[in-house]
A = this chain, B = another copy of it.
Amino acid sequence: MAGTRGTYRKTAQRREQILEAAFAIFAKNGYTASSVNEIARAVGITQTGVLHHFAGGKLALLTAVLQQRDALAEENLRGKTGREFLAALVEISRVQAGQRGVVQLYRNLSTEAVDPEHPAHNYFRERLGRIIEAVTQAFSEVLAEDGLKPGIEPRAAALNTLAMTEGLETLWLQGLDVDMAEGIRWHINGFLAKPL
């Protein structure tokens, strides 16, 4: 019994090590130029060892890395509505300013995945769709409480906020000294009757 538990813990640790290595290598080289072999070497095991944990190979590794990171972000938004949800978006940006590698990975992969034949194309398209829906809903909730400035339409405000988020991130990744969180808060406040 203790042996089985020990084995389970070791398996979980090894899985975690592989995902960390995959994350680092995808972030550095992008998906296309990365290989399972390189990830295996970074962990100090064989390619077969990696495939034992991720039978689907490189695509399974990518999916697992992305899902793990997205789950963390969704955790911060769970149960929040309206203004509280919008304030949480600002806080997510604040956290991301300390995680350049994560932001860079998403940027590299989502850029590659613009190609409809990229294996993560649908993942990123569906993810963007979900984000737009969620932010639109938050602005709709604020509207229902008369919390938007006159004439602001929730979906337009959501698309605009996402564009500004992506754009500030682009300038920040290119080395400009921009405060992403304050930039987004300022931008969202442009739509709200009462500032965040």
Contact = CB atoms under 8 A, between A and B. Distances in A.
Interface string A25-54: 000111011000000000000000000000
Nearest to A114: B173
Interface in A91-111: 104, 107-108, 110-111
Contacts of A77: none
Nearest to A168: B163
Contact of A111 (B33, B107, B159): B107
Contacts of A144: none
Q: Which of A28, A32, A168 has the most CB of B within 10 A?
A: A168
A29 B28 CA distance: 16
A110 B170 CA distance: 10
A176 interface: yes
Copies in the complex: 2
- Secondary structure of the A contact surface, majority rule: helix
A12 to B, nearest CB: 32
Interface of A: 28-30, 32-33, 104, 107-108, 110-112, 114-115, 124-125, 128, 132, 159-160, 162-168, 170-171, 173-176, 178, 183, 190
Nearest to A127: B174
Q: Which of A33, A112, A163 has the most CB of B within 10 A?
A: A163
A79 B107 CA distance: 35
Contacts of A115: 28
Nearest to A173: B114
